Structure 1
Amino acid sequence: MDLHKIEEKILSYTSFIDEIGVIIFNGYPFAFVYPDFNALKEAKIINIEDEIKWYAIELYNMKALEQEKVKGYKILTKPLVKTKSGEIDKTVLKEFLVSDKNDNISTQDEPSDEVYKILKSYIATLTKKEILPSSHLELDLELDSLNYVELFVFIEESFGVKIDEAAFSKIMKLESLYSYIKVNAKKIGVVKPEWDELLREQSSEKLVYSPFIMSLYKTLLYPFFRLYFRFEVRGIENISSKACIIAPSHQSMLDGFFIESALPYKTLKKTFFLAYKQVFGTKLLKPIAKHGQTILIDANENLKETMIYCALPIRSGNNLVIFPEGARTRDRELLEFRPYFAMLSKTFKTPIIPVVIDGSFEALRAGMLFPRPRKIRVTFLEPIEPHSMEYGEIVKRVRDAIERELKRSREEHL
């Protein structure tokens, strides 16, 4: 296996990787990645792992032979160790992986002032990782978009310092964030954000209704799907007239259209969809999204405002379709569920309808250009009420329901 060729291929997909070293681990390629932090700052990207995973490694995996697919990776915050000849020292990489040692070893003493203590103490509520001054907030402490929103609000309320995503992309290490707050602080306190309050804030955005276009999409797509995919819908009786969150599994670019075709006309007219701007904001798909009651989101900008806007359909008595995985599966297995849908459900006491879309992975998996005529089945499961459950419990209930139905559906050999 030509590991150097794999490295070159991955690098060809992105400008956000500075160095990459690929070794064989457990029989498959494993990649060590050192990002180009300057390029990421210029692009104002704060979700670095998603950028590298989905737009470099997974793009490579789509076209790679099975035995040459990268089955694991680690994103480092320091350059890769080189040999005397200037080559990446892969012996060190193997030792690093086996020992699982921390790339982020700091010899710097921690600041002892109140600003640092308050900031570190709050970040400790968001992560279980060891927190050091040199810790990268995403790559070392594993904070995500939801954590960023909480952190931004905490900093603004506690220190009087407003931070947007563009500024944050340049100060993503704890020591840099601390220094920024220290210089700009107007006050010092501890005011912890509450998601219930955040999601209930008023949005400056307005919902754009397109009932005629939505009905037209369904009218055109449903018979085509019936003919080409032997499209089947089950459990439609589980959709009531009250507002709900529709949470489908995600296997294909077509999944949103399958949901659109499966919903009754009356329900569809008051249903909104969440989609990533990077995918549905392109020249080809943007017109469809614009007239398709779709809210486009960007994980690297206006996070708080976007999350408040995304709550607007529910607050207005409409339905909202959210794919909890946040991305399409690459191997037919469920990805980790992101908790935003559960937060909305609990805050607004809105039931969640888990949905299983089965067969779309075989029809149009990631990397395919044209769909194959495979049988597609959409199954709406019984609603799950949030009641007194915590976010994690809601997520688990929904994921378990989808996983059980997927297993049952596969046993029927679609």
Structure 2
Amino acid sequence: SGYRNLPDKTDEAFTENGWFRTGDLGHFDDNGELHLLGRLSTLIKTESGEKIQTEDVEAAYAEESAIREIGVLGEKGKLVALIVPDRASSDDGKDAVRKAIETASKRLPSHQRISDYAITPDALPRTRLGKIQRHRLAERYKEAKKGGEKAAAAQPMSVEEMSGEDHALLEDSSAQSVWELLAKRYRGKRLTPDTSPQFDLGIDSLEWLNLTLEIGESSGVELSEEAIARIETVRDLLREVTEGGEGEAVDPLKNPDEVLDEKQKQWLEPLGPVAAGTARFLYAVNRVLMRLFFRIRAEGLEHLPEDRQWVLTPNHVSYLDPFAIAALLDWSQLRNTYWAGWTGIIFANPLMRFLSRLGKILPVEPMRAARSSLAFGAIILKKKKNLVWFPEGERSASGKLQEFKPGIGMLLEHFPAAVIPVFVHGTHEALPPGKFFPRPHAIRIVLGKPFDGRELKGKGRGEKPHQKIASALQHKVAELG
């Protein structure tokens, strides 16, 4: 037995009696039974003479949730480690990993504690069977200690560096095209199968919208919002693509009807006579309460066009904002107006669902479901109805104007409605975030002059037209404050 024509390798792998050297360590007890203690390849001898099985040390530290992966190695007779932090950790995981190391070390004898470590965002090199490729750990550790990842950041991981599983994944032509798309789109950022689209590439829901459309063009695969919600790493994205998605990608601005399902479309159906009567009664009650308790007044109501549809883009600092704006509108205006409302409020309970339906509030979730959110807005503007859209996407806890999300820019880029910037004063003092009962406080709402949103393409900041529109619109709203 042995390696053909390789006598040196044969001598290394076999004993003189022909036994194969497996690399396992163990001993026979008094009863002749063999007890395995570990692998020779994972054994490290420290400067104190202690023999340490790295897998035992790795298992102890890996119990800490802040440590996603850990590979222990020896350096100058000391135990050191290369650590991949958990994605949920803040500050790149540095503080969480440090605390985890301190906690785990207390459970270990002194000779099994690591003396130093380096943090890397890249997964540890592994074999097809998932075993750590220990011969590559030392180089990776040195790179991490001197910031080698930064030097390599501009380059995506090569196929040769990937595990067998990831290598096989990229053999699919659709997955390969998406990998190349990501490498081109996110130049200057480290791209590996373990890269987090959210944390490492900065992809939010609106960026997902653009990306999925490009993926559809390059691979013919559409990723649904449900599929996107399952994606935590680039590897997950590639798997979703190889499984075929759900057909060709649909642009929610051009074909919004194809994006929404039948249940979502129910929010667009006109109110029946009884519901319409109830809505008008509640409108009157709201108007009285707003004038009685909050002395509401408006500036610039004359800017509301009577002969064309309009889009109001107010700041958002309180749950009172939509009630205050509704109190300023005539019923003839309000019955042709739809509102973008956060799903967390609309779906809170059956009563809120009912009231939201009466108020023509559309379930919008700009941070998680950009496709359906934009589709709702697109359908309303296509029908020449009015729309109230809060461009910040959420309430401002501080009361200060937040950065506008690109979604409003996408809508205004595609639809020629009259855009009216709005600034709401006083609602934050009357009912700030975290409070449940309002207190009397004067509310003043300022409406700016209308303009075509497409006029803002060359005035704001950003690389794309919709980003420039959103940026310039934010400036116009801020001027009213």
- After TM superposition, is the score higher than 0.5? yes
Compute the displacement of 1:217 (Å). 2.7
- State the TM-score, normalizing by the size of structure 2: 0.60
Compute the displacement of 1:380 (Å). 1.2
CA contact (8 A) 1:384 1:398 kept: no
Q: Say if 2:452 is the partner of 1:385.
A: yes
Within a 5 Å distance, the mapping from 1:90-129 to structure 2 comes to 104-105=121-122, 109-111=157-159, 115=174, 118-123=177-182
Q: Select which of 132, 149, 160 maps to 2:191.
A: 132
Find the aligned partners of 1:193 and 1:78 in 2 and give their Cα distance.
43
Aligned to 1:217: 282
Compute the displacement of 1:402 (Å). 1.5
The answer to which of 104-113 and 342-351 deviates more is: 104-113
Within a 5 Å distance, the mapping from 1:373-412 to structure 2 comes to 373-387=440-454, 389=457, 390-406=465-481
Aligned partner of residue 169 in structure 1, secondary structure: helix
Aligned partner of residue 311 in structure 1, secondary structure: helix
For residues 372 and 200 of structure 1, do their structure 2 counterparts lie closer, same or farther at Cα, with a shift above 3 Å needed? same
- Between structure 1 and structure 2, the one with the greater Rg is 2
Q: Say if 2:304 is the partner of 1:245.
A: no
Find the aligned partners of 2:477 and 2:180 in 1 and give their Cα distance.
37
Aligned partner of residue 453 in structure 2, secondary structure: coil
Counting aligned pairs with the same residue, the percent is: 21
Q: Select which of 420, 431, 441 maps to 1:353.
A: 420
For residues 305 and 399 of structure 1, do their structure 2 counterparts lie closer, same or farther at Cα, with a shift above 3 Å needed? closer
For residues 249 and 353 of structure 1, do their structure 2 counterparts lie closer, same or farther at Cα, with a shift above 3 Å needed? same
Aligned partner of residue 334 in structure 1, secondary structure: coil
CA contact (8 A) 2:205 2:368 kept: no
1:222 partner amino acid: R
Find the aligned partners of 1:180 and 1:78 in 2 and give their Cα distance.
33
1:143 partner amino acid: I
Aligned partner of residue 285 in structure 1, secondary structure: helix
Within a 5 Å distance, the mapping from 1:280-295 to structure 2 comes to 280-283=346-349, 284-295=351-362
For residues 314 and 103 of structure 1, do their structure 2 counterparts lie closer, same or farther at Cα, with a shift above 3 Å needed? farther
CA contact (8 A) 1:344 1:350 kept: no
What is the count of residue pairs matched by the alignment? 327
CA contact (8 A) 1:159 1:185 kept: no
Aligned to 2:298: 233
CA contact (8 A) 1:35 1:77 kept: no
CA contact (8 A) 2:321 2:427 kept: yes
State the Cα RMSD in Å. Answer: 3.6
1:316 partner amino acid: K
Find the aligned partners of 1:234 and 1:102 in 2 and give their Cα distance.
56
Compute the displacement of 1:159 (Å). 2.3
For residues 195 and 161 of structure 1, do their structure 2 counterparts lie closer, same or farther at Cα, with a shift above 3 Å needed? closer
For residues 76 and 297 of structure 1, do their structure 2 counterparts lie closer, same or farther at Cα, with a shift above 3 Å needed? farther
Aligned partner of residue 345 in structure 1, secondary structure: helix
Q: Select which of 199, 206, 216 maps to 1:146.
A: 206
Aligned to 1:14: none
Aligned to 2:232: 172
Q: Select which of 284, 297, 309 maps to 2:376.
A: 309
Superposed CA offset, 1:45-83 (max 9, x none): xxxxxxxxxxxxxxxxxxxxxxxxxxxx65759973413
Q: Say if 2:148 is the partner of 1:83.
A: no
Structure 2 segments unaligned to the other structure (5+ residues):
1-64, 68-84, 107-117, 126-156, 160-169, 458-464
Compute the displacement of 1:145 (Å). 1.2
For residues 386 and 169 of structure 1, do their structure 2 counterparts lie closer, same or farther at Cα, with a shift above 3 Å needed? closer
Compute the displacement of 1:201 (Å). 5.7
1:393 partner amino acid: K
Find the aligned partners of 1:385 and 1:293 in 2 and give their Cα distance.
24
Structure 1 segments unaligned to the other structure (5+ residues):
1-17, 21-32, 38-72, 89-100, 407-414
CA contact (8 A) 2:212 2:249 kept: no
For residues 318 and 87 of structure 1, do their structure 2 counterparts lie closer, same or farther at Cα, with a shift above 3 Å needed? farther
For residues 196 and 184 of structure 1, do their structure 2 counterparts lie closer, same or farther at Cα, with a shift above 3 Å needed? closer
Q: Say if 2:326 is the partner of 1:260.
A: yes
Find the aligned partners of 2:244 and 2:477 in 1 and give their Cα distance.
47
1:83 partner amino acid: I
For residues 175 and 404 of structure 1, do their structure 2 counterparts lie closer, same or farther at Cα, with a shift above 3 Å needed? same
Compute the displacement of 1:368 (Å). 0.7
Aligned to 2:3: none
1:288 partner amino acid: L
1:224 partner amino acid: L
The answer to which of 215-224 and 164-173 deviates more is: 164-173
The answer to which of 174-183 and 101-110 deviates more is: 101-110
Compute the displacement of 1:266 (Å). 1.4
For residues 351 and 128 of structure 1, do their structure 2 counterparts lie closer, same or farther at Cα, with a shift above 3 Å needed? farther
For residues 329 and 74 of structure 1, do their structure 2 counterparts lie closer, same or farther at Cα, with a shift above 3 Å needed? farther
Aligned to 2:129: none
Q: Select which of 417, 429, 432 maps to 1:365.
A: 432
Find the aligned partners of 1:35 and 1:226 in 2 and give their Cα distance.
49
Compute the displacement of 1:223 (Å). 1.8
For residues 184 and 347 of structure 1, do their structure 2 counterparts lie closer, same or farther at Cα, with a shift above 3 Å needed? closer
